[in-house]
Amino acid sequence: MRNFHVTTVWGIPIRVNISLLVFLPVLAWLIGSGSQIELYAGLVGGLAGTTLDLARLQAGSTPWLVGTLAAVGLFVSVTLHELGHAWAAMRYDLEVESITLWILGGLASFKQMPREWNREFWIAVAGPITSILVGVVCYAGLLALPASATVTLFVVGWLAVTNVFLAVFNMLPAFPMDGGRVLRALLARSRPYASATRIAARIGTAFAVLFAVVGALSFSPLLLLLALFIYAAATGESRTVALSDLLDGLTVGDVARPAALTIEAEASVEDLVDRMFADRSTEFTVTQGGEVVGVVTVADFHALSQAERSSDTVADLMETDLPRLAADLSAFDALVELDTSRASAALVEGPDGVHVVSREDFSSAMEMRRLVGTGDPF
């Protein structure tokens, strides 16, 4: 979904997802509804040592004002929470690409997550610590405000309570929430990083199922959405770490294969079919004037109509917009590049010429690594 750039803090772009823009009026209405104001007025009044005028809070358009201020304040608090993560990451010289606010809160995107358990621990806890500090500041403001400032008292008190709740909720060991990352960091002290990730991801999946059940029983769409997010993120990160471990220490040049099976771009489709049968291969590197210019597969051939098969050349159906990668690029980063560009293969430029790497090559390399263990079969 589309993101809108709002501002930049410490060189980090702060973006707002369109889902948040749609959800904010709904959140303002939920907070400003009579039952929510009644629920929190007594709590905030107790914290402030006074009694809030409930009739004043519920009069006319005041509930909308209360709801809007509280909703905006909540996402300012979420931004500060994510900036807490970002500040801790920057202390370790890690690059923070962006902070995105969306319907379920905020996401700080790092160029690379650290594998050192102590770094991940402090980056993870920095967010909840920031939320606690924001809650304390709001509580101090609550005590300093005059009793006559009913609306301001309510909003500041609500933010004090909500920030503490935000910190506590985020510390649940539901990977990849903050508590789940803390759990992985502590597990990684005494076991391999991939193993720690698998355990944390399983616990995160269990929480996702729990949230889904509670969300279904309480008719809470947000809890169901959170369950889906945790499940997808936990399983996705577990896979990513497993892939990274299997490709650790390899460059894309190690994985790529020489362009042994080649066909000229000017060759006819019939020539291509004959070569596929003769060489028992469904993929060929396409050359033109001795230079590698693309890749052609049996899938490209299947996409042609009968008329095109008799008139087209290999140049008409080959894939040419393939990523070009340096041979010394890490294999994992190359696989990410392949996924990002949605290409079936990439051209690898090395000192001994241009090679080709496909998803099948990465699969073969990982299977070899899995079979032989952590040694280097290349």
Report yes or no: 162 and 74 within 8 Å, Cβ to Cβ: yes
C-alpha pair distances (Å), 7 with each of 4, 71, 81, 91, 127? 9, 19, 16, 22, 20
DSSP calls for 264-326: ETTSBHHHHHHHHHHHT-SEEEEEETTEEEEEEEHHHHHTS-HHHHHH-BHHHHSB----EEE
Active-site amino acid positions: 82
User: Distance between CA 232 and CA 201 in Å, rounded?
Assistant: 10
Does the pLDDT of residue 30 top 60, yes or no? yes
CA distance 163 to 160: 5
Q: Give the three-state DSSP class for 377.
A: coil
Cα–Cα distances in angstroms (integers) from residue 209 to residues 1, 129, 232, in the given order: 25, 27, 12
Count helices and strands (H / E) in the chain. 16, 10
Q: Which residue has the higher pLDDT, 294 or 238?
A: 238
Q: Is the pLDDT of residue 210 over 50?
A: yes
- Tokens in use for 23? 């959800």
Sheet of 105-110: strand order equals 3-9, 12-17, 96-102, 105-110
Q: How far apart are CA 289 and CA 315, in angstroms?
A: 13
239 contact partners, CB below 8 Å, separation of at least 6: none
Where would I find the H helices in 171-290? 178-187, 193-217, 221-246, 252-255, 269-279
Question: Residue range 95-113: average pLDDT?
Answer: 87
- For residues 325-354, average pLDDT: 76
Cα–Cα distance between 314 and 286 in angstroms, integer? 8
CA distance 336 to 323: 11
Question: Per residue in 168-178, pLDDT tens?
Answer: 999 999 888 89
Contacts of 64 (CB under 8 A, 6+ apart): 28, 29, 32
Cα dist from 30 to 24, 67, 68, 71, 319, whole Å: 10, 7, 10, 9, 52
**Residue in 193, 75, 182, 175 with CA at minimum distance from that of residue 126:** 182
pLDDT tens, 278-291?
A: 777 767 777 777 67
For residue 376, the model assigns a pLDDT of 45
Distance CA 112, CA 97 (A): 10
Any idea of the CA torsion for 25, 31, 35, 40, to the nearest 10 degrees?
-170
Do the annotations mark residue 85 as ligand-binding?
A: yes
Q: Report how far residue 76's alpha carbon sits from residue 358's, in angstroms, rounded to the nearest whole number.
A: 44
pLDDT, greater one: 292 or 30: 30
Task: Give me the mean pLDDT over the 172-192 stretch.
Answer: 90
Which among 187, 182, 212 is positioned nearest to 198, based on CA atoms?
187
Put simply, whether the predicted model's pTM sits higher than 0.75 gets the answer no
Domains of the chain, with CATH numbers?
3-246 (no CATH), 252-372 (3.10.580.10)
Q: Round to whole Å and give the CA distance between 343 and 337.
A: 9
330-362 burial: b if 16+ Cβ within 10 Å, else e? bbbebbebbeeeebbbbbbbbeeebbbbbeebb
Q: Using alpha carbons, select from 138, 159, 97, 366 the residue that is nearest to residue 246.
A: 366
Instruction: For residue range 47-85, list pLDDT tens digits in order.
Output: 888 888 778 888 888 888 888 999 999 999 999 999 999
- Using CB atoms within 10 Å of the CB of residue 71, give its burial: 0 to 12 exposed, 13 to 18 middle, 19+ buried: buried
User: Exposure of 225 by Cβ count < 10 A (0-12 exposed, 13-18 middle, 19+ buried)?
Assistant: middle
Model confidence pLDDT, tens digit, residues 242-267? 777 777 778 887 777 766 677 777 77
Identify which has the larger pLDDT, 356 or 307: 356
Average pLDDT over residues 317-338: 76
